[in-house]
Chains A and B, each alone.
Chain A
Amino acid sequence: MPWGEFKDTAAERRLFQRRALVMLVLVILALGGLLGRMYQLQIVEHETYTTLSDKNRVQVQSVAPPRGLIYDRNGELLAENRPVFSVTIVPERVDGMDDTLSRLQSIIDVSEDDLQRFDRRLHEPRRPYQEIPLRYDLTEKEIAQLAVRRQDLPGVEVRAELVRYYPHSVLTSHVLGYVGRINREELQSIDPVNYSGTNYIGKSGIEKFYEESLHGKVGYQHVETNARGRILRVLERQNPVPGDDLRLTLDLRMQKKAYELLDGRRGAIVAIEPKTGGILALASVPGFDTNKFVTGISVDDYRELRESLDKPLFNRALRGQYPPGSTLKPMLAVAALDSGAVTRNTRIWDPGYFQLNDGGRRYRDWKRWGHGWVDLRKAIAESCDTYFYTAAVDMGVDTMSSYLSRFGFGENATLDVYGALSGLLPSREWKQANRNQPWYPGDSVNLGIGQGFMLATPLQLATATALIANRGKWVEPRLLMQVTGDDTTDEVLPPTTHEPLKLKRPEDWEYVVESMAAVMESVHGTGHRAAQGASYRMAGKSGTAQVYSLEENEEYNADEIRERLRDHALFIGFAPVKDPKIVVAAIVENGGSGSGTAAPVVRAMFDAWLLKYSKDAPASHNPEPASAEETH
């Protein structure tokens, strides 16, 4: 190594300077390159990046339309939208979900239910960057506390949202239904554009049936957002078209009356305006608080509702399929008269039972010792079973089935009542197909008093009764009276499809109607007690649906049978007789006898409408004179 040797400093300096020059050239080239790059990005491709930058900051957001309101026929608000502040989380923007949740819990109350519901939603399929609500109904204080801690909680937002609210939720639960958050299946079927800002959708009832009208059209706004999606300002806005407001035929006061009449029991009342088919009241008791369902019901609350013996979620009025029992007799009377199986003068001797052939099974009449000589009017007024056993066998199943189908049995004849069931109208073909058995004459006997296979919902009974009240003119039950702002409901209401039921002798209608009036007016009429003191004439028919059938010689003893095994009490009717303004069908589950339990309920509904609530209730000043005409 050349230690201590003289170093050529000048040469070293020159060497360095040469190398420095090389480097200087490289530096100039490199910085020139950077400048060139800037030229390329900022001058040449400027347009492209300006577009990108605008696209970045300007976002198109959908604005959910306010849902249409729902009113009763008198303009009473049944469903409204209330602003609710909720705290929501966008999972994509959160750093550490557990951490965020625990931090939120230290600021506001978050219940176990809230967490469970949140967790469930978190794992459901959803749109990316869609907010998941954690808790609703924040108080002012909680909103302020969240605002203070906003910086520590990325992805957490406080949202003001219009949420459905039902002021009379329990009363109207089975009519209006409710809205709830859009679920997986619904997500597949809705229009993704129109629902892009919407979180709620009608789940049942009117809310479901008129979802399209109530929803409205989505609006848009161009907003400037930051990278975290926080809206800084609105640049341009196209307002949404609010959903249509609906006016229903329902009368809240009648609905309330119906509910009160059944309160504490289980049952259903359907009241229809026979001229229009408009449903005045449709009560299924007990009801439930639909407001709980809107923002998502807790698992415990839901279990309680589901497992309740009283089945509050079960819509008895539309979906309760009961044997119609003797309430079917007026319709069968129409069939018997028109088919010629009986005439008004046909009389039979009722010993208290009916036999298809001597020594065969005895089909018992409810009156053990029999009604004696009976014609059709008396058979209806006193609900003579034997008469109808005889008539049923004479008519045969095919005739009965065909006539009953004209009354709307075995089909859902409603226009806009969501979820109504069609009951069961038995026929020869049905029995062969479903039971793989021929139709026996005994089956006809049972059908003659509305027992056996036959099933009908209270709404169907009301519909059939309305046909009698209208003397054959069909009205399909409907809830929609008016779409606010529109003169006609044609656009949203499905068309009517039923032909009027024309009888060979139209005066047979009056005969059956008067027979039903006799139920209320004759001393032995089954509705006699319930009709006392009325200032108008009414027509009705009682019925009792067996919960389980009695053996041939078994004694019926209501006291011995546990309450829930008692017969269902039914009653149908309309009033006034001449120009009916209201039709009512009522069922009181395990109510015992139709005449004792259900008839007063129907009478109370008549009174409420005719004397108090209907538009021409003052007409009660000149009521139809109560006829003392006794029909035997």
Chain B
Amino acid sequence: MGLKSTTDGLDRGPLERRPSVWSALHLDPILLLLLAILITGGLFVLYSGADQSLDMVKAQGIRMGIALVVMLVFAQLDPSVFRRWSPWLYLVGVLALIAVLVVGIGAKGAQRWLALPGLPRFQPSEIMKLVVPMTAAWYLSRHYLPPRLPQVAAGLAIVLLPMGLIIEQPDLGTSLLVGLAGMFVVFFAGMSWKLIATIIGMASVSAPVLWFFVMRDYQKQRVLTLLDPQSDPLGAGWNIIQSKTAIGSGGLEGKGWLMGTQSHLEFLPESHTDFIVAVLAEEFGFIGMALLLTVYFLIILRCLYIAATAQDSFSRLVAGALTLTFFIYVFVNIGMVSGLLPVVGVPLPLVSYGGTSSVTLMAAFGVLMSIHTHRRMISA
């Protein structure tokens, strides 16, 4: 540990470009521009998806503003701060998750919120989306990479503990996202392909176990519905049928902004939250979807570049994991809305109405910007 930080501190290379406003603010202009395009476009789609409610667009705008501030704050912190704090945050996070199970507040049969006296109501699982990959990265980067089996095991344990606690709430979607964020760290750290293959093999074997002993009825129902939406066209299958209809009827050019009949006539459920991409697809067509996917791809590409050019293992692992988590959001959400994946509560990142996930995501981008702008001047 000592050695590494010494090295980091000493190496100040001559290759750094001239200091700019952006580096003074610790912001990456390219990433910021892409995010701005996404958020702005998202607000237009939201206006349509939320039944042309300016109030909702305003509320979302304010949330995005807050999220931007959070990103700005995170960007100012040195990556080493995250590294040093992550184990402690992890500890607090795990305790909070346990507390949620004991005294949490819930809705629709799941306990996800924690209301501690003196603190605003919050969702500990949301914070863990950042803390778990950071803690895994903190642990693994203290060792030689690629990690050996014991370290892999310990790293996975760090990931699986909070994951299990979140499943208990139950919140399958978040637990998968948290879990994946941690797994990505282990993967990027260099976990051997053999081990990956073994784990995937074991996972597929244990799938029936999950099905029969872990998954709740409503989760099974979602999977069954995905396989055959027509089996329950007015119940659980309704969402999938309606969202596919919305997407498909959009065609190449779409029906035009605010002209989507599926969403405006209220056939499309959750048209401003999880299913908002169907609104976009219906109104802007295949062209709109191609543009959206391009923006997402460019964001991911930029973030992977940031990760690849990061200077220490911790930063690399965290940046890579957060990027792929973001990608998972995109893939799961669009996959679910277009009927490729079961319906799990994953919003379309930075477009869906709702504050919590946007703030977490922007905090993650803050971390990425921090990693990118706090590089010591060494040759890459």
Q: Which residues of B contact A2 (CB under 8 A)?
A: 143-144
Answer whether residue B300 sits at the interface, using C-beta atoms and an 8 A cutoff. yes
Interface string of A60-79 (1 = CB under 8 A from B): 00000000000000000000
Q: Give the residues in chain A near B247, CB-CB below 8 Å.
A: 38, 41-42, 49
The reply to whether A49 and B297 form a contact with Cβ atoms under 8 Å apart is no
20 extra interchain contacts, Cβ-Cβ under 8 A, other than A1-B143, A23-B188, A42-B251?
A6-B3, A7-B3, A8-B144, A13-B316, A15-B146, A19-B320, A23-B320, A27-B304, A27-B327, A31-B296, A35-B293, A37-B340, A38-B289, A38-B290, A46-B252, A49-B249, A52-B248, A53-B245, A56-B267, A226-B267
Encode contact with A along B122-148: 1 for CB under 8 Å, 0 otherwise. Answer: 000000000000000000000111100
Do B261 and A56 have beta carbons less than 8 Å apart?
A: yes
Q: What per-residue 1/0 map shows which CB atoms of A29-42 lie under 8 Å from chain B? A: 01101110111011
List the B residue with the shortest CB-CB distance to A52.
B245
Q: Is A16 in the interface zone, CB < 8 Å from B?
A: yes
CA distance A50 to B249 in the complex (A): 4
Q: Is B307 an interface residue, CB under 8 A from the partner?
A: yes
Within 8 A of A (CB), among B293-351: 293, 296-297, 300-301, 304, 307-308, 312-313, 316-317, 320, 324, 327, 330-331, 334-335, 338, 340
Q: Is the interface of B mostly helix, strand, loop or mixed?
A: helix
Complex Cα gap A1–B267 (Å) = 60
A56 cross-chain contacts in B, Cβ below 8 A: 242, 245, 261-262, 265, 267
For chain B, residues 245 to 295, give those with C-beta under 8 angstroms from any C-beta of chain A.
Answer: 245-252, 261-262, 265-267, 281, 285-286, 289-290, 293
A5 interface contact, C-beta 8 A: yes
Check if B334 sits within 8 Å of A34, measured CB to CB: yes
CB nearest neighbor in B for A50 = B249
Q: Are B307 and A20 in contact (CB under 8 A)?
A: yes
A131 part of interface (Cβ distance < 8 Å): no
A17 contacts across to B, CB distance below 8 A = 308
Q: Is the CB of A16 within 8 A of B313?
A: yes
Which of A5, A16, A24, A30 is in CB contact (< 8 Å) with B331?
A30
Q: State whether A42 and B188 are in contact (beta carbons under 8 Å apart), knowing that A15-B145, A49-B247, A53-B249 are contacts in the complex.
A: no
User: Can you report 23 residue pairs joining A to B where beta carbons are below 8 Å apart?
Assistant: A1-B143, A16-B190, A16-B320, A19-B187, A19-B188, A23-B320, A24-B301, A31-B297, A37-B338, A38-B286, A38-B290, A42-B251, A42-B281, A46-B249, A48-B248, A49-B247, A50-B251, A52-B249, A53-B248, A53-B261, A57-B261, A57-B262, A232-B265
Closest 8 CB pairs of A and B: A49-B248, A53-B249, A226-B265, A227-B266, A42-B286, A41-B248, A226-B266, A49-B249
Q: How distant is A59 from chain B, measured CB to nearest CB, in Å?
A: 11
Task: Decide yes or no: A5 and B340 within 8 Å by CB, A31-B293, A39-B286 being known contacts.
Answer: no
A1 to B3, CA, bound (A): 16
The answer to whether B338 touches A34, judged by C-beta atoms less than 8 angstroms apart, is yes
The distance from the CB of B260 to the nearest CB of chain A, in whole angstroms, is 9
Whether A435 is near chain B, meaning CB under 8 Å from some CB there, is no
- Chain B: residues with CB nearer than 8 A to chain A? 2-4, 7, 143-146, 184, 187-188, 190, 241-242, 244-252, 261-262, 265-267, 281, 285-286, 289-290, 293, 296-297, 300-301, 304, 307-308, 312-313, 316-317, 320, 324, 327, 330-331, 334-335, 338, 340
Alpha-carbon distance between A37 and B286 when the two chains are bound, in angstroms = 10
Q: Is the CB of B246 within 8 A of A20?
A: no
Q: Are A38 and B338 in contact (CB under 8 A)?
A: yes
Are A45 and B248 in contact (CB-based, < 8 A)?
A: yes
When A13-B316, A15-B146, A38-B338 are in contact, do A46 and B251 touch as well, CB less than 8 Å? yes
